[in-house]
Amino acid sequence: MSLDLSAIPITDHHAHSLLRQPPATPHDWLRFFTESGEPALISNHVPNTLFFRYAVKALAGLLGCAPTPEAVLAERDRMGQRAWIEQMIRDANIAIMLMDYGFRGEESYDHAELKELLPCRIEPILRLEALAQELIVKHDTFDQALDAFVAQVKGARAAGYVALKSIIAYRTGLAIQEWARDEAKAAFQPVKEQARREGRVRLATAPINDTLILQALDIAERQHMPFQFHTGYGDSDVDLRLANPLHLRPLLQSGKYSNVPWVILHMGYPYVREAGYLASIYANVNVDLSLAIPFAVSEASLLLTQLFGLAPTSKLLYASDGFSVPELFWLGAKVGRAGLARVLDQQVTDGVLTPAEAHTAAEQMLFRNAQEIYGLQ
């Protein structure tokens, strides 16, 4: 027996917008297959990753061209950007995408443009640190910036956002704590001075970051709004030691945020078992399957098996974390479906699941869980 999951539509609950200008050359294309920003690594080593080698062959197979980056990009250019994007989405059978526009915002399509471009439903997610950075540039005092932040987060659902999202793991870490108001105000001054000098700021100051996230969690608790937390592997500036999802345990254990649907992004990779453990203990904790799938392509089945050890299938959500180029949306779906099929097949062989139960579990992870958590109709 081999499960065929291709007919199950996907809700990609964690993705980013596409670049208005796609990469022109194979060399430019390489940087989208790694989280590293080092030019030498991108040029010399990304071509030797299993993910890149797999991606070239898989895309070539779809397009019917030679399995080389040059041939794939030539076929992309022949089709044109719109047709290329549509083929990626339709072939992947992606029905709904939830988009975080806070990554490479100026270079990428905005929500209205992307809705017109993609052949699927799209809903926005509010990236909290990006919002805070904009408000710090605009406001002179911590109190003004905080009040503006709270007002916008309170109004997020009414403005059409389906979830809140934090990248605090990549800035000051997940060991979030309460700070005295005076400490946050004092920390605000050098940040504001940087904003005045440079016209922008990258917010990575613990008293401010923690204070803002706790304010947002309070609002999410009152509104029962989903809250995504980046954890584990991701941007090159992350200190993985501080991105272990177990750092969230004091907040979860406090009971203050039991009405918040928590979504632990990136499986917490490499803390995959830790993420699965949290999902097995706390009723409102869910785990996202993205980034390691598809980037760690050879580990897909292993990672899913580790999650299945403790986490209920009703708490696991497929996503691509695709960004900038539509190939990542398609590759995520391809690797994700294949990995799920292999692991679920094994569970059927081992007598853990019936074929019908395995298919239901796949539906849960590919779209049903996300539709329930984010209230998608």
- Residue 119 CA to residue 91 CA, distance in Å, equals 11
Mean pLDDT of 28-47: 96
pLDDT > 90 fraction of the chain, expressed in percent and rounded: 96
- Residue 31 is predicted with a pLDDT of 96
- Residue 105 is predicted with a pLDDT of 76
Longest pairwise C-alpha distance within the chain: 64
Contacts of 211 (CB under 8 A, 6+ apart): 146, 178, 179, 184
Mean pLDDT of 116-126: 97
- Residue 237's pLDDT band, with cuts at 50, 70 and 90, is confident
Mean pLDDT of 198-217: 97
pLDDT by residue (tens digit) across 62-100? 999 999 999 999 999 999 999 999 999 999 999 999 999
- Residue 1 is predicted with a pLDDT of 54
- Residue 246 is predicted with a pLDDT of 98
Does pTM top 0.85 for this prediction? yes
DSSP string for 228-261: EE--SS-STT--GGG--GGGGHHHHHHSTTTTS-
> β-strands 285-288, 316-317: how paired?
parallel
Mean pLDDT of 160-170: 97
Mean pLDDT of 354-359: 97
Which of 317, 316, 335 has the alpha carbon at shortest distance from 327? 335
Question: For residue 273, what are its two tokens?
Answer: 């078992």
